[in-house]
């Protein structure tokens, strides 16, 4: 049986066939999850971002004009949500450092919890977590998802030249982090 293209499925969803969207989710949920997971670094947040990505995509499907592929469009939503999540983490981290959050939130039951979570991540994931947000996103898209610079530039809406420089710097920094771990 011939598999429907993404665009055919999108048109079916627009025609009211909800099942077609479930098929689109089945196709891309793993890639969306892993992209989010590598950018934000935690399973819980990646899980939430993956769900939110599809919810947003479903509600905004009327705005999808088909200029880029459906996956590029979906990917853009996922990366933007992930970058927003990092920014929130950074704000929260800053507030924790400034001791405001510690006064508001109760102390965690298990003080070793963060350490355990850290151990559950691979060496590479930990190295990625040390990158600045833009380099992190570019690294994940290029190294893990093997996307072309043109596709990445469509997602992040930046120049190809800048992306190449970002990726190269990210590769160097990840190598340095791994050297330190070794």
Partner 1 sequence: MKLRHTLDEPSEQDERCAVEELNRRLEELHDTPVSISQTYWSNLLVKTNQRIDEASSAKAISISWAARVAIPGVVAILFFFIGLHYYAPELPKKESSVASLMGTLPEDAVDSLLVRPEQVGLSLSTADLSSDIFQFSGEQITEYLAASGNHELLVENMDDAEVATLLAALDLKKNL
Site string for partner 1, 81-120 (x = CB under 8 A): ---------------------------------------x
At its nearest, how many Å lie between partner 1 and the CB of residue 107?
28
What are the backbone dihedrals phi and psi of residue 131, each rounded to the nearest 5 degrees, phi first?
Answer: -80, 155
Residue matched to tokens 């665009």: 7
Handedness of CA 163, 168, 174, 180 (dihedral sign): negative
Q: Where are the alpha helices (DSSP H) in 60-159?
A: 70-97, 100-104, 113-120, 123-129, 133-139, 149-156
| 8 A C-beta contact, residue 89 and residue 68 | no
C-alpha to C-alpha distance for 129 and 127, rounded to whole angstroms: 5
Is 64 a binding residue for partner 1 by CB under 8 A? The answer is: no
Is 147 a binding residue for partner 1 by CB under 8 A? The answer is: no
Applying CB under 8 A, among 26, 65, 103, 112 the residue interacting with partner 1 is 26
| 95 versus 143: smaller Cβ distance to partner 1 | 143
Residues lying near partner 1 in the complex (CB under 8 A) are found at 21-22, 25-26, 29-30, 33, 47, 50-52, 54-55, 58-59, 120-125, 143, 161, 164-165, 167-168, 171-172, 174-175, 178-179, 181-182
């Amino acid at each position: 049986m011939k598999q429907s293209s993404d665009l055919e499925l999108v048109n079916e969803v627009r025609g009211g066939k909800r099942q077609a969207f479930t098929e689109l989710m089945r196709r891309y949920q793993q890639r969306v999850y892993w992209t989010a997971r590598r950018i934000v670094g935690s399973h819980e947040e990646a899980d939430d971002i993956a769900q939110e990505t599809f919810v947003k995509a479903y509600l905004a499907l009327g705005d999808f004009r088909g200029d880029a592929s459906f996956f590029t469009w979906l990917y853009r939503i996922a990366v933007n949500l992930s970058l927003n999540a990092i920014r929130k983490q950074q704000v929260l981290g800053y507030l924790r450092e400034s001791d405001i959050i510690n006064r508001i939130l109760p102390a965690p039951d298990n003080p070793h919890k963060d350490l355990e979570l850290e151990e559950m991540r691979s060496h590479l994931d930990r190295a990625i977590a040390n990158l600045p947000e833009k380099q992190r996103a570019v690294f994940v898209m290029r190294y893990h998802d093997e996307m072309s610079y043109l596709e990445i530039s469509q997602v992040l809406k930046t120049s190809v030249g800048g992306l190449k420089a970002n990726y190269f710097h990210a590769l160097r920094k990840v190598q340095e982090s791994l050297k330190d771990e070794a």
